Structure 1
């Protein structure tokens, strides 16, 4: 298994963010407000006097359209502890975006939120135009059909999860801890994550009846599947996990999907906390090698991860 690339030094990351601030629309103050960061903290990070946190990198990537991989490594397909999107689900860095691509991204952001909150079949082009302050004609220029909006919403989901995982998992050397964090980063515990789950569930439903959508769905899901498989393979090589990565990946991803749907559907007794407990119990029982010590479910590291995810 190829070793992950080493992230760039903090000065290189700061230089890339400085370029984004300088070439993007608005002022540095507006940029700071958009990513939920005090302007003084942004100034210190841009000057190299403080390090950008994982949550801040995710927010910057979301605001500008670049990937966290690009922020950390200078290119989108750097090898990390999480799989790079491929095929139809691949997302390109927007480091050199134009006014047109910025407009397209604003439309996508509005459409993604509306579809997640109200449902694909309830969202009209006029609703998206109203939400982002543009005309229906502009929406149709960038997205010829409503179906195209759902496809892009799925790609946006892939980018959000990819950015979050690259930012949070890059320095987690222990495979067991990394697997627990990887799962925690997918739990529907915040508004953002519940919206991601909503998009996924809607795409699953559409793919079941529309074969034309399946190729994109397969590519999108494959990125998540490979991320889990990579982590299980690494743990097996390290002697922490049992050596059945392919079988365990199928079982674990299926369990996550099923539990997540129950939580999102409001099934009585189904909660994100219960979902986490069930997944950890499965890992302790079926993934950890006999004799390995489970990580305490109350580990404060996980709580910090949840806080950063919530603010991202």
Structure 2
């Protein structure tokens, strides 16, 4: 059984991570300060540094956690498909609710951009992408898709690109037909 202090500590840590996940798309990665994060989470600035070594650490954990959750859903939908063509449709359906300027899309964009200046963040995002590509590649191999690892890499990049382009107003019309040709 956890002590009341440990439970409170976990609750505060969760509030800090939730606040970070909200603030990244609202303000941009570099505009989130200790004070702003603490205010949003309803704690004092010293509490931020009690639970995390830096604001960057909070932002990284919040972003990577959100990315991991979205990729898990996408992976589940993809691997539940009976055929490669259905898997493409499932992947595209998993991003359909994202406009490219919704909070989760913006969190991804901000994290990708921040990773160009933060090796630790880049390594964590790269590990998530590599894991997804590996799982999708294995599934494609089972379904006898030629060159499954390279195809998985192209599919992962295409999904990222489609989300990025949605933020610019592109609809991606006809994409499913083209991606189905890959598999």
TM range (shorter): 0.7 to 0.9
- The CA distance in 1 between the partners of 2:20 and 2:111, in whole Å, is 14
Structure 1 residue 263 corresponds to structure 2 residue 166: yes
- The CA distance in 1 between the partners of 2:75 and 2:125, in whole Å, is 21
Q: Offset at 1:119? A: 0.5
Cα gap change, 1:104 to 1:188, in 2 (>3 Å): same
For 2:10, the equivalent position in structure 1 comes to 101
For 1:226, the equivalent position in structure 2 comes to 134
Q: Offset at 1:170? A: 7.2
- Of 141, 144, 151, the match for 1:248: 151
Q: Offset at 1:120? A: 0.8
Cα gap change, 1:110 to 1:144, in 2 (>3 Å): same
How many pairs align?
A: 179
- The CA distance in 2 between the partners of 1:225 and 1:170, in whole Å, is 12
For 1:211, the equivalent position in structure 2 comes to 119
- The CA distance in 2 between the partners of 1:134 and 1:251, in whole Å, is 43
- Of 168, 176, 193, the match for 2:85: 176
Please say if residues 169 and 181 of structure 1, whose CA atoms lie closer than 8 Å, have aligned partners that are also in contact.
yes
For 1:114, the equivalent position in structure 2 comes to 23
Q: Offset at 1:118? A: 1.5
- Of 21, 35, 44, the match for 1:126: 35
Higher helix share: 2
Structure 1 residue 161 corresponds to structure 2 residue 66: no
- The CA distance in 1 between the partners of 2:182 and 2:74, in whole Å, is 24
- The CA distance in 1 between the partners of 2:22 and 2:30, in whole Å, is 14
Structure 1 residue 283 corresponds to structure 2 residue 179: yes
Gaps of 5+ in 1: 1-22, 24-96, 237-241, 288-312
Gaps of 5+ in 2: none
Structure ID, larger Rg = 1
Cα gap change, 1:159 to 1:286, in 2 (>3 Å): closer
- The CA distance in 1 between the partners of 2:80 and 2:147, in whole Å, is 25
Please say if residues 88 and 180 of structure 2, whose CA atoms lie closer than 8 Å, have aligned partners that are also in contact.
no
Please say if residues 106 and 132 of structure 1, whose CA atoms lie closer than 8 Å, have aligned partners that are also in contact.
yes
* TM-score of the aligned structures, taking structure 2 as reference length: 0.80
RMSD over aligned Cα atoms: 2.9
For 1:90, the equivalent position in structure 2 comes to none
